[in-house]
Amino acid sequence: MKDTREIIAICGCQIYEEKEYAFISEMVKQCAGSDYMVVAFNLAVNPMSDMEELNEEMRLIQLLEKLECAAVVILGETINNDTMRELIGRNMLHKNVPIFSLERKLEGCIHIAMDYGSGFKNMVRHVLGDHHVKRPAMLAGVKGNHFSETRITAFREAMAEYGLTFDESLLKYGDFWDFPARKATKEYLEMDELPDAIICANDTMAITACRCIENAGLRVPEDIIVTGFDGIVSGRLNFPAISSVAPDYESECRTILDIVDRHHRGEGLDMRDRLIEFMVVPNLSCGCPPPDENTAERMANVLADSVADQKWMVNSMNRLLYEATNKDELYTASYILQEAVNLWNQMYHYAGLYTDYLEGEPEGEPGTRCVTVLNYKDGEHRKIGTFYDESELAPDLDSLKKRDSNLNLLFVRLLRTGSEVYGYLIEGYEHPLERDMRRSEELGLFVGTGINVILKNRKLTWMNARLKEANEVMERASTVDYLTEIYNRRGFYEALNNLVNAKENRGKVLTLFSIDLDRLKYINDHFGHLEGDYAIRAIAAAVKDFAEKDGICARFGGDEFACALITSGELNMEAEEVRKRLTDHIFANTKPKPYDILASVGSCGELISLNLDIDRLMSEADRKMYADKEARRQTRE
């Protein structure tokens, strides 16, 4: 016996449902202790899925494609999308291992199906032969449905075997579910002559028939025998427990493993179709003793545990989503996930995210690189943040395949919302319960939603940051002159109002300066507007340097500048002194030009108080600046 097991891969849709779980758990049971383990891939497609959804879900099939397997089992009946079923079949064929398709034929696959007709016929035989029923009713499924019509044919054939003529008025359709079955059963009970038995095409309708008969004051099976088909849990828990026909998953799994073993021994691959018989399971509803006296009690305990777990699951997942609402970084999802899985004593939890969604993605082909965000085994959280190629499925897959890992089933599903696929979730079990697999599906849905919330938060945070930057740019553009990068008129007055209204400046002196660049038109006309802009920037830099320590400055437009200084005492500065300081700065910080960069200056100061009139001060400074300009012009002439 090898230390490392090979993988039997199973794929289908909603494989946590009762029938699919029954098959998978039987396969796990038969593989336990052998050279095989089971990896089940759960798809999320439906008949209405468009190509975008199918392409996204194919990422799960691509994981399966890259996995080394001993065999692949396709649960064809669960995949109701013909396109997806064909895609899976084609993609699996290149693996050169036995590919099985259950219930649906796929080219190149070994077809295995349950013999519904013979199974149902055996139940009819049991009712007619063992219970001596002469007037049975047939409650069929959907009219025209293949599975329903197959059972009707089997019913007629069994009746003929016993030399009985079927009364066509006793054939009714219950559409495989409660409401139509209730209506049909009431019609039976209104007949002048009641049927001896109601043989139902499935257990759901049989349960409904039992309820209707009891409500009419009759008894099952004393007055009317009731039987079903499928062998579902609710039928076994019904009172009386439903006599049914159950799929022989033990024989089906044994058939698959026998073909795989023969293939491994080099005996070739027998591609013939296989039919698996159903098993008649008589029970109380037909008057037979139950096959196991304690079945109902054991199942009730399992269901009670399942209900309690489901409540816990809902509460814990709501907390998970609540935690995600205020997170905007995917790495934080790891800690949310760890908190979630701490609630269960599961053997193995693993989650990998595609690095496409991470900031600062490492090098690698997009869509193939993953990072570990959850890694829990045997009660211990292990290293996360490991980058790997998705073809590995999980970085520790080799250790999981070892016999001493005690993991007999890995359950794999994508982490997604809508058409967005973020990564995948793997859960591992030794002896899985149906609730375990269903909880794994629920956890995946919640985690996918949580990741979606975090990503939207990240996008919102990014958009808010960009919006803030844009607002800052717009605010700056509205208060700062684009050419000189000092205040414009609006910005100057806003800043000046803040200064004069500040408590610490009460009692100080405000001095306003009006400064005008001389001969700007001359510079533009003779040397060009670029040189005019150069002169404007030069005088602006000089004004800024002049105001930098105790005040603010601005370009009001064109060749006009303003400056405000706040000092503890009166500032007595003549225009010539201010002009010299400006000229010295220009001389020290500009290249020689064929023109002078000079300015006319006027100023006016006053004590800061509640009665301060800024407009009056500015007008007085302007008046003095124009007087200075005129005086200097006359001197030049």
For the chain, the farthest-separated pair of C-alpha atoms sits apart, in whole angstroms, at: 138
Are 99 and 123 in the same domain?
Answer: no
Are 284 and 174 in the same domain?
Answer: yes
| pLDDT tens digits, 599-633 | 999 999 999 988 899 999 999 999 999 999 999 88
Instruction: Classify residue 596: in a domain, yes or no.
Output: yes
The one-character DSSP state at 357 is G
Instruction: Classify residue 239: in a domain, yes or no.
Output: yes
Higher pLDDT, 438 or 173: 173
Name every residue whose Cβ is closer than 8 Å to that of residue 248 and which is 6 or more positions away in sequence.
Answer: 114, 276, 277, 278, 279
The answer to whether residue 294 scores a pLDDT higher than 80 is no
Are 124 and 104 in the same domain?
Answer: no
Instruction: Report if pTM > 0.85.
Output: no
Phi (first) and psi of residue 70, to 5 degrees: -90, -25
Of the three residues 440, 458, 476, the one that is the final residue of a domain is 458
| pLDDT tens digits, 489-525 | 999 999 999 999 998 998 899 999 999 999 999 999 9
Are 440 and 540 in the same domain?
Answer: no
Average pLDDT, the chain: 87
Are 239 and 120 in the same domain?
Answer: yes
Instruction: Classify residue 78: in a domain, yes or no.
Output: yes
- Give the side-chain half-sphere CA count within 13 A for 268: 3
The predicted structure's pLDDT at residue 365: 43
Name every residue whose Cβ is closer than 8 Å to that of residue 384 and which is 6 or more positions away in sequence.
Answer: 334, 372, 373, 374, 375
The predicted structure's pLDDT at residue 298: 64
| pLDDT tens digits, 320-378 | 666 666 665 655 666 666 666 655 656 788 888 888 776 544 444 445 688 888 888 87
Which residue matches tokens 């296989």?
274
The predicted structure's pLDDT at residue 287: 95
Instruction: Classify residue 475: in a domain, yes or no.
Output: no
Of the three residues 458, 477, 506, the one that is the final residue of a domain is 458
Are 169 and 285 in the same domain?
Answer: yes
168: pLDDT confidence band, cut at 50, 70 and 90?
A: very high
Are 567 and 527 in the same domain?
Answer: yes
Mean pLDDT of all residues in 473-501? 89
Are 145 and 102 in the same domain?
Answer: no
CATH at residue 205? 3.40.50.2300
Q: What is the DSSP string of 117-133?
A: HHHHHHHHHIIIIIS--
Are 84 and 220 in the same domain?
Answer: no
Q: Which residues pair with 12 in a beta bridge?
A: 42
Instruction: Classify residue 465: in a domain, yes or no.
Output: no
201: pLDDT confidence band, cut at 50, 70 and 90?
A: very high
- Dist. CA 533–CA 596, nearest whole Å: 14
Instruction: Classify residue 305: in a domain, yes or no.
Output: no
CATH at residue 84? 3.30.450
Instruction: Classify residue 143: in a domain, yes or no.
Output: yes
Are 168 and 284 in the same domain?
Answer: yes
CATH at residue 506? 3.30.70.270
CA-to-CA separations, 48 to 84, 85, 146, in angstroms, rounded: 11, 13, 21
Are 96 and 128 in the same domain?
Answer: no
The length of the chain is: 637
Instruction: Classify residue 309: in a domain, yes or no.
Output: no
Range of the domain at 344: 6-109+321-458
| pLDDT tens digits, 76-86 | 989 888 888 88
**Contact at 8 Å (CB) between 91 and 65?**
yes
**Contact at 8 Å (CB) between 176 and 208?**
no
The answer to whether residue 98 scores a pLDDT higher than 90 is yes
Are 67 and 140 in the same domain?
Answer: no
295-324 vs 332-341: helix crossing angle, rounded to 10? 160
Q: Which residues pair with 605 in a beta bridge?
A: 511
Higher pLDDT, 420 or 139: 139
Number of domains in the chain: 3
